[in-house]
Amino acid sequence: MVKKIVFSPEANERLKEIINYLVKEWSVNSAEKFINILEVKLSLISKFPLLYPAFKDEQDIHYCVINEQITLYYRITESNIEIITLFDSRSNPSNLKL
C-alpha cells in the first residue's frame, strides 16, 4: 500500500534552506539534481516504508541517506509517512531533535 508523504514544518523549512544554499553556492542544476534524488527516495519510502533502517530503538522512526551531507528522518504512522527533518550530517549529532 502506498502511503501519503507529509512534511513537518521543520522539514519544509530545512528543505527550503538546502535548496536555497545549493542555488546560491553551487547552481540551479545542483539543486535540481538534489530534488530529483529526493523525489526518488520519497517514492521508495512511500511504497516501502520499512526499506530504510530504524533510528536507534525508535521503531517508528527511520532514516534515509539522501547524499553524503543530508539524511532524511521520517516517522511511519497508520495513515501516512511524516518527514520529520532533513539533517546535515556534518552538524553536531546532538542538534538532531526528533
Q: Where are the domains of the chain?
A: 4-95
Cβ proximity of 88 and 72 under 8 Å: no
CATH topology assigned to domain 4-95: YaeB-like fold (3.30.2310)
Question: How much of the chain, in percent, has pLDDT values that exceed 70?
Answer: 97
| pLDDT tens figures, 30-42 | 999 999 999 999 9
More confident residue, 92 or 24: 24
Distance from C-alpha of 59 to C-alpha of 41, rounded to nearest angstrom? 19
Residue type for 63, please? Y
Cα 27 to Cα 16, 19, 31, 69: the distances in Å are 15, 10, 7, 17
97 — pLDDT class (breaks 50, 70, 90):
confident
Asked whether the predicted pLDDT for residue 54 surpasses 90, the reply is yes
**The pTM is what?**
0.91
Distance from C-alpha of 30 to C-alpha of 26, rounded to nearest angstrom? 6
Residue type for 32, please? E
